[in-house]
Amino acid sequence: MPPPEKVIGVVGKTNVGKSTLFSALTLARVKIANHPFTTIEPNVGVGYVRIKCAHVELGLPSCNPRSGACIRGERFVPVKIMDVAGLIPGASQGRGLGNKFMDDLRQADVLIHVVDASGSTDPEGKPAKPGSFDPVEEARLIQAEIDEWFWGVVKRLWETKIQRGLLNVTDQVDYLARNLSGLSVRKQHVVEALRATGLEGKNLKNWTLDDVRSFSLAVRRLSKPIIIAANKVDIPEARDNVKRLKEFFGENIVVPVSSLAELLLRRLAEEGVLSYLPGDPRFEILDERKLTPQYKRALELVEENVLKVYGSTGVQTLVNKAVLEVLRLIPVYPVEDANKFSDHHGNVLPDVYLVPKGTTARELAYMIHTELGEGFLYAINARTKERVGEDYVLEFGDVIKVVSAKARK
Ligand SMILES: Nc1nc2c(ncn2[C@@H]2O[C@H](COP(=O)(O)OP(=O)(O)OP(=O)(O)O)[C@@H](O)[C@H]2O)c(=O)[nH]1
Ligand SMILES: [Mg+2]
């Protein structure tokens, strides 16, 4: 089976720019408007992690991606993105649209929490003058809502399902992982949450509701880690707030972002007006004639207030951070021909798999095809042409051919 598809969920207060970010990531046309609760049904689409394509280092003229794209030596590897309805404080108690829509995010592996860093929306998402509201407070309150939502789901599961089966539980970790799998909770998350809460030695039958709650909060942090998109940094009032968000949540967790700037750049690039790749620190105008004075002015602002100050729109950074740093996935390229770096049709580097750090050659073989895994003999590191065994731990950017006793059907 190919590596399990990872899902990035976009969450946050209502009217902070979640759908704008989603649209900038996927180029999907979705409803965007400056009032609360524009999005009701979730939007699902494909965004991309950006990495240097191996074909460049290998000295090959080009490659043939089966999905995603390779542009100017930059490889764009697909990941699933989900944009859902917004929250307001008290959502877990049913305020606003309540928590109903958060349930769409059960399958998310990592959350991008969009915060209005310009402080130009009130706690209910109504537009206000920039600088009127505190984004640190907004982020704190919304994260508390996310914790409450998760706890609500775990508590319900506990009361309706987990508690009932406790009598016959032999393997506690496995039992919890199985029962929480609908929330995308994996065994490793359970192990780490038990350790973090000191509950690993305590029999499940003796857990109090407080134990369940602290376990639930720990599992939320591990199974749905959050990074913050400090959005609307094109508005100058956001600058100080970005600093404060970083102080409060950590330098590594907060990414300054202008979703609006990214959306503008990507749409104009799509129309051939400018040359710009997501994540680039600059753009180049290709066709002045197609540029209206309004767009021209908007691009000047993007240049002055976003690119010069922050180095990029931050949107690509978010996806790369979520996938490569938070989920700790690495890209590897399975090939069938280690000399041509291709599949058997001659397609060069057709696939990129995003696999967990620590994945072995044999595990990769199973991801390509069950039979390749079962009949695994050895693998070839196509960069060095060295043979490696089943326990070889894959490295970032490895190009791997698996040699198996069983043919791939
Ligand atoms: N200045 C600025 N405005 C932005 C940015 N991102 C979004 N907006 C504006 O914020 C408003 C809300 O955007 P949406 O993307 O609809 O927000 P949302 O979070 O999806 O809202 P709901 O679905 O209603 O919860 C729109 O007017 C956007 O143009 C940004 O980076 N900068
Ligand atoms: Mg929306």
Q: Does 2 reside within a domain?
A: no
* Portion of the chain with pLDDT greater than 70, in percent: 99
More confident residue, 2 or 279: 279
Say how many Å lie between the CA of residue 21 and the centre of ligand 2.
Answer: 9
> Over pLDDT 90: what percentage of the chain?
89
* 19-33 tens-digit pLDDT: 999 999 998 888 999
Shared-domain flag, residues 22 and 50? yes
Alpha-carbon Rg for the chain in angstroms: 23
Whether residue 76 sits in one domain with residue 16: yes
> Is 52 inside any structural domain?
yes
What CATH code is carried by the domain that includes residue 59? 3.40.50.300
100 CA → ligand 2 middle, Å: 15
| Token pair 């990495």 in the structure block, residue | 51
Going by CA atoms, what residue is nearest to atom 11 of ligand 1? 34
Q: Considering the domain boundaries, does residue 113 fall inside one?
A: yes
Residue that is last in its domain, among 324, 343, 369? 324
The pLDDT of residue 325 is 98
pLDDT interval class at 127 (50, 70, 90):
very high
Cα–Cα distance, 83 to 12 (Å, whole number): 10
Does 117 map to a domain?
Answer: yes
- Rounded CA-CA distance 302/233 in Å is 10
Q: From 143, 111, 134, select the one nearest 326 (Cα to Cα).
A: 111
Q: Does residue 338 have its Cβ closer than 6 Å to ligand 1? A: no
Average of pLDDT values for 364-384?
97
One domain, residues 96 and 186: no
> How confident is residue 92, by pLDDT bands cut at 50, 70 and 90?
confident
Domain that holds residue 89: 7-143+225-324
* Arithmetic mean of pLDDT, 108-122: 98
Question: Which one of 13, 14, 15, 30 would you pick to mutate in the ligand 1 pocket, going by the greatest count of ligand atoms within 8 A of its CB?
Answer: 15
For the cut 90, the answer to whether the pLDDT of residue 409 exceeds it is no
Cβ–ligand 1 distance for 18 under 6 Å, the answer yes
How far is the CA of 236 from the CAs of 59, 132, 263, in angstroms?
44, 13, 19
Predicted local distance difference test score (pLDDT) of residue 169 = 87
Residue with tokens 């129309």: 271
Is the minimum distance from the CB of 89 to ligand 1 under 6 angstroms? no
Q: 409: buried, middle or exposed (CB in 10 Å: 19+, 13-18, 0-12)?
A: exposed
The residue nearest atom 16 of ligand 1, judged by CA position, is 32
Confidence band (pLDDT; 50, 70, 90) for 406?
confident
Does ligand 1 lie within 6 Å of residue 113's CB atom? no
Number of domains in the chain: 3
Residue 168 has pLDDT above 70, yes or no: yes
Q: How far apart are CA 208 and CA 248, in angstroms?
A: 32
Confidence of residue 407 (pLDDT cuts 50, 70, 90): low
In this predicted model, what pLDDT tens digit does every residue of 184-242 receive, in sequence order? 999 999 999 999 999 999 999 999 999 999 999 999 999 999 999 999 999 999 999 99
Together in a domain, 231 and 115: yes
- Provide mean pLDDT across the span 325-354: 98
By the 8 A CB rule, do 391 and 359 touch? no
Q: Are residues 320 and 238 in the same domain?
A: yes
Q: Quick: pLDDT tens for 260-314.
A: 999 999 999 999 999 999 999 999 999 888 899 999 999 999 999 999 999 999 9
Check pocket membership of 20 for ligand 1, CB cut-off 6 A. Answer: yes
Is the pLDDT at 68 greater than 60? The verdict is yes
Is the domain of 109 the same as that of 243? yes
CATH of the domain at 205: 1.10.8
The ligand with the least distance to the CA atom of 237 is 1
Number of residues that this document lists for the chain: 409
Identify the domain boundary among 324, 341, 366. 324
State whether 99 and 156 are in the same domain. Answer: no
Q: Are residues 244 and 113 in the same domain?
A: yes
- Can you tell me the distance from the alpha carbon of 139 to that of 12, in angstroms, rounded to the nearest whole number? 8
What is the atom index within ligand 1 of the atom nearest the CA of 12?
Answer: 19
Judge if 164 and 275 occupy the same domain.
Answer: no
Query: Are 131 and 197 part of one and the same domain?
Result: no
Q: Are residues 231 and 197 in the same domain?
A: no
Ligand 1: residue of 11, 32, 101, 112 to mutate (most ligand atoms within 8 A of CB) is 32
